[in-house]
Amino acid sequence: MRIKELLTSTMVGVMVVGTAVTAGTASAAESTSDTASVTQSASAEVPHLQTSRSDDADADAQQCPGGGSVWAPPGYRWGRAQSSCAVLGSPGHEVTYTWWTRGDVDACVGVRYYSNGEDRWWGTGCGSFRRVSVPWGNNADYPAIRATSGAGVLGVIVDFAH
């Protein structure tokens, strides 16, 4: 996803929320349930942005604790999931992924990264836990993982954070 597309969709949501807040602050007596519903629906449409421009990774994580879960099916088929939080990168920026499996079954995991403005998959290897930093650069998108399990009848759930 290009930065312009992400920022455009975010700005539309911000303008709606700003309008609802302005309308709601005009007079306490004029506040209605319509204003509240506009605010709630608009905030649900605005994607979470982890700006990642600070040097403090803990502060970034508090803004939007990104991550999720994916089912890694058996038989070397890929399950995929993306984070609930987008990352707004900058030149030279990296995203650090941490993933772990639930249970005693290992998984093989790939994570999304960017090379020359194109998203690609970075193989992190197989196991039950990994932490890896990958190039992100000046891109805005949702971090994502894909996972597969060669063992086990039911596969395994893989959780991740960034």
What was the pLDDT predicted at 11? 37
Query: At 103, is the pLDDT very low, low, confident or very high (cuts 50, 70, 90)?
Result: confident
**Tens-digit pLDDT profile for residues 39-75:** 333 333 334 444 444 444 445 445 778 999 999 999 8
What was the pLDDT predicted at 65? 83
Own/partner pairs, 63-69, CB within 8 angstroms, 24+ separation? 65/161, 66/143, 66/161, 66/162, 67/159, 67/160, 67/161, 67/162, 68/159, 68/160, 69/157, 69/158, 69/159, 69/160
Three-class DSSP category at 118 = strand
Six-digit token string for 46? 């605005």
**Average pLDDT for the chain:** 72
